[in-house]
A and B are shown apart, each in its own frame.
Chain A
Amino acid sequence: MSASQSAVRSRAEAVKVSRTFDWMILFTLFFVVLGGYHIHYMLTGGDWDFWTDWKDRRLWVTVAPIVSITFPAAVQACLWWRYRLPFGAIVSVLGLLLGEWINRYLNFWGWTYFPVNFCFPSNLIPGAIVLDGILLLSGSMTLTAVLGGLAYGLIFYPGNWPIIAPLHVPVEYNGMVMTLADLQGYNYVRTGTPEYIRMVEKGTLRTFGKDVAPVSAFFSGFVSIIIYFLWHFFGRWFASTKFISGENI
């Protein structure tokens, strides 16, 4: 076979090879993103995502979207720019959550016996679908950054509230008021995580009464816009083939 000859002999065979490539690339993409995104999110979101007694209405709401919009933005940039595929955000978040759940179930529960109802991950899927949807409908990465980034920050808390609300029911415990989530953190001993490390309800956002979460979510959305832009450029840079330019590319 000479270099100019095709590796396939028919259209059917070409389609088959193409689909095989699709699955191979998708499989690889899924698990590479899972690994990279998981490490990134554990290092930046960390305890806010690990424990229910960190999932507050100020810092968790602010931090989690900002640090989690990164990989979705980068993968979206690559998949949209190169293939017009609007599933970069969801493939990233599905990968992350699969990794998170494996980690929480096998390590946090299976290895160290923290109950799963104390250490489940945050739900990022609604934001990812909206991000992909806006990209598909607008066809614009700028609009996706602005509208999608804002929506990603805004939808995070309401998207998680059905899961965490039952843990915010108050209890009276030995003369003090705590939420059930606080009590989980107190009951289930974390030797290496003393209470003062917990960054919750800190800050100067005191002029909105009890309605802090929407303000935090807006702030998170604004910063998510900036982070989206930044990581979108990372994605484009990684998706470039200039590193391997040559006659045969």
Chain B
Amino acid sequence: MKIIKDKVAKLSFVALLITITAAMFYTPTASAHGEKSQAAFMRMRTIHWFDLNWSKEEVPVNDTMTISGKFYVFQGWPETVDKPEVAFLNVGIPGAVFIRQGSWIGGQLVPRSASLELGETYEFKVLLKARRPGDWHVHAMMNVQGGGPIIGPGKWTTITGSMKDFVNPVTTLTGDTVDLETYNLSNTYFWHGLWYLIGLAWLGYWIRKPLFIPRSIAVESGKAASLITSTDKKVGIAFTAGTIALVAWALAATNEKFPVTTPLQAGLLRNMKTFELPARTISVKVEDATYRVPGRAMQMTLTITNNGDSAVRLGEFNTAGVRFLDPAVYEDQSNYPDDLLAEEGLTVSDNSPLKPGQSRTVQVTASDAAWEVYRLADLIYDPDSRFAGLLFFSDESGNRQMVTVDAPLIPTFI
């Protein structure tokens, strides 16, 4: 019996080792930023990104690309998320694969956090310089204090070349041009190395002598005072005074070498310039909205009123960066990421041109696997079961007009 038990134990151990070893070889690439796991209502009812453009899909090291577009700060911002009074325009990339050379909101550089107003639209641009080769998912992103990162649509971008060639030249106000990639590195290594050696020397002085057992015996037997010799004290004075002297000398020498220094810069940017959308001439009332779970489709009953002077048709519903289009009205020309684009995902019960002064109630269906893939269907599990998004109408001249919708959503399970 014991032999059998031992064998079982041994085999179990071998099986465990094989499992652990096998698990080590399974290393799938982590290639996104968890955008799908962010609560659906966060993505639908906070920052709406639109008119996005990634200027390039392939960039050599040291070359630049931009992400540009607009974002609408949703008027119906959820109560459970702090308002974007302190927000930072960021990019969602896996570490410093690009450097951020510039980022602008409404034409103003935003290296710091900015205060955004609910219900306003802003134009933005982020200039990125390629640094590390690879295929990277590049997102627009807004960090909101108290709200967390609100990640926008992402697109795969390839950086080619070698990181060894990357340079980041910067000219200081004192007139020197430095490569920020390697600047101050040798100075950092020098001072850390020097101090580490001094520290080791102090430690070395003590550990060359017998340490724990004899000293413990001496302390226990009341001879502790004999353990510190006058030489020890002299060495202690030398190290202590030498340390203070070296620090003082290095401080003075550094101040002489760098007479012009400034404190770190910080602060909040306010009064950001908003983007003026054309005067809104279309009004939309959401009569009801349901999400049909088995069909992965959202249906809305909308009453649309055209108060403008040109007939309009509904061409797009955009929510959480997923765009549902009616191809008969509007086709995307911006090379938008495929996984976020439902080119035939929008159907309208009557999408004939709505003439000026007319009002019509229509059934609008936005259906695509993206509801599931991007976990927007999880909206039904959110604490505040509302949906929101942007409707884009096109007039006879091809001009687009944006209208926001925000209403309760009822799930249907059959």
Interface residue ranges, A against B (CB under 8 Å): 15, 18-19, 21-22, 25-26, 53, 55-57, 82-87, 90-91, 93-94, 97, 101, 112-117, 120-121, 123, 125-126, 128-130, 132-134, 136-137, 139, 155, 158-159, 161-163, 165-184, 186-192, 194-196, 198, 200-202, 210, 212
Contact = CB atoms under 8 A, between A and B. Distances in A.
Contact of A19 (B195, B210, B243, B247): B210
Contacts of B203: 87, 90-91, 94
Q: In this complex, which of A97, A134, A167, A196 has the most chain B Cβ atoms within 10 angstroms of its Cβ?
A: A196
A53 B239 CA distance: 32
A116 B185 CA distance: 7
Interface residues of B, number: 93
Q: In this complex, which of A21, A83, A167, A198 has the most chain B Cβ atoms within 10 angstroms of its Cβ?
A: A83
Contact of A166 (B132, B163, B182, B183): B183
Given A169-B261, A184-B180, A162 B100 contact: no
A218 B360 CA distance: 73
Given A165-B261, A180-B170, 10 more contacts: A22-B212, A56-B263, A117-B181, A130-B240, A132-B202, A175-B109, A189-B90, A201-B264, A201-B266, A210-B263
B237 interface: yes
B interface SS class? mixed
B64 to A, nearest CB: 12
B168 interface: yes
Nearest to A181: B264
Given A189-B98, A196-B113, A125 B199 contact: yes
A120 B187 CA distance: 11
A174 to B, nearest CB: 5
B265 A161 contact: no
Nearest to B215: A83
Contact of B196 (A97, A117, A159, A168): A97
A162 to B, nearest CB: 4
B128 to A, nearest CB: 8
Contact of A201 (B95, B96, B178, B263): B263
B5 interface: no
Interface stretch (B141-149, B274-282, B321-329, B374-382): B141-149
A101 B196 CA distance: 11
A137 B109 CA distance: 55
B263 to A, nearest CB: 6
A85 B213 CA distance: 12
Nearest to A194: B143
Contacts of A57: 263-264
B143 A200 contact: no
Interface string B156-196: 00000001000010111110101011111101100110011
B237 A137 contact: yes
